Amino acid sequence: MPEWATFAGFAFVVTAALLLLSHASSSILTDSGTRDLDADRSPAPAEELGEPTSDTVHRVDGETEGETITLPKSGVEFRPERVRPDPEDGQDVSDFSTASLLANVAFSQGLFALLLLVGAWYAEIPARAFGVGPLDPRAAAVGVGLGVVLYVANEAGAAVGARVGLGVGDGERLRSALAPETRRGWIVLLLVVLPVIAGFEELLFRGALVGVVAAGYGVSPWTMVVVSSAAFALGHGAQGRLGVLVTGALGAVLAAAFVVTGSLLAVIVAHYLINALEFVVHEGLGVEWTPEGA
């Protein structure tokens, strides 16, 4: 017999842990940005006004190396070390740094997903409560269409928000840190990391918080759409006010699609496509829709 209360409590504990990690990450990023801004405003010592030393390495986009980035929802800390490639082997050290970051993200998100699945197994929660059923190509097709539409809406919302002065936060910096520079890195990102992230977040925010709670307690799934979407938005606080608003809206649409279709597969596919298209368009093709400097 399913132990709905046990699993619901476990799911809310996992959600709370993610929100705490996200809040801590946002605070670290904000403090880091404030220190960087203060340092930029401080007069440089005389010896630093000359030619840069060999210990100072600048990225192509102008950022100074050595800045620590903490990823939301995982607590992973990453310090980019993009040094010049060794002419003897032609290998850029940054490839290893990015690979380590991708591995850490995949591991942390995968670990949370595993804990959630173990909790569901222990509580004997039926798969159908999560929206899991026989593989349905129609659900996958719905996910593809929904993902493309939501990606376009996401870009439009970000562009409008940037024009009216809503902060974009550290979303672009986090995305840039995750963006690989080799073909192998892109394969790992698109075929391993992003599927793990999409699968875990949909399993938690849509499958558990909407599907399982509604099935176990007779609560209206639309009520849980509001609750899960708010939690989903708060989990992306590192992306600034704009990121929270846009992510909350996306989460609400994904949750509504989950309720209407009853399929976890559909929303996983849609979520994956939103993230994948964002990486490919911005980091792979170098296309930016928001006004420069916004």
275 touches 197 (CB < 8 A) = yes
Give φ, ψ of 274 to 5 degrees: -60, -50
DSSP states along 176-214: HHH--SSHHHHHHIIIIIHHHHHHHHHIIIIIIIIIIHH
Residue 269: which pLDDT band, with cuts at 50, 70 and 90?
very high
What proportions of the chain, in percent to the nearest 5, are helix, strand and coil?
A: 70, 0, 30
Q: How is residue 69 annotated by DSSP?
A: E
- Burial of 11: CB neighbours in 10 Å, binned 0-12, 13-18, 19+: buried
Only one residue has tokens 């809406």, namely 153
* pLDDT average, residue stretch 70-91: 46
Nearest-5° angle of CA 106, CA 111, CA 112? 105
- Amino acid 197: pLDDT: 93
Tell me, rounded to whole angstroms, the distance of Cα 87 from its chain centroid: 35
Residue 166: which pLDDT band, with cuts at 50, 70 and 90?
low
Residue 1 has pLDDT above 80, yes or no: yes
Category of 242 on φ-ψ map: left (φ > 0), alpha (ψ -120 to 50) or beta: alpha
Q: Is the dihedral of CA 95, 96, 102, 103 positive or negative?
A: positive
228 touches 206 (CB < 8 A) = yes
> Could you tell me the two tokens for 223?
């009520």
* pLDDT average, residue stretch 140-162: 88
- Amino acid 245: pLDDT: 82
Residue 184 has pLDDT above 70, yes or no: yes
pLDDT digits 0-9 by tens, 228-249: 999 998 887 666 677 788 889 9
Pick from 9, 11, 15: nearest CA to 231: 15
Residue 46: which pLDDT band, with cuts at 50, 70 and 90?
very low
Which range of 108-112, 162-166, 197-201 scores highest in mean pLDDT? It is 197-201
Which long-range contacts link 59-62 to residues 24+ away (Cβ below 8 Å)? 61/176
How many Cβ atoms sit within 10 Å of the Cβ of residue 154?
Answer: 18
151 touches 249 (CB < 8 A) = no
Query: Does residue 294 or residue 269 have the better pLDDT?
Result: 269
Q: With pLDDT > 90 as the criterion, what percentage of the chain qualifies?
A: 46
Residue 118: which pLDDT band, with cuts at 50, 70 and 90?
very high
- Amino acid 48: pLDDT: 43
How does the average pLDDT of the chain come out, rounded? 77
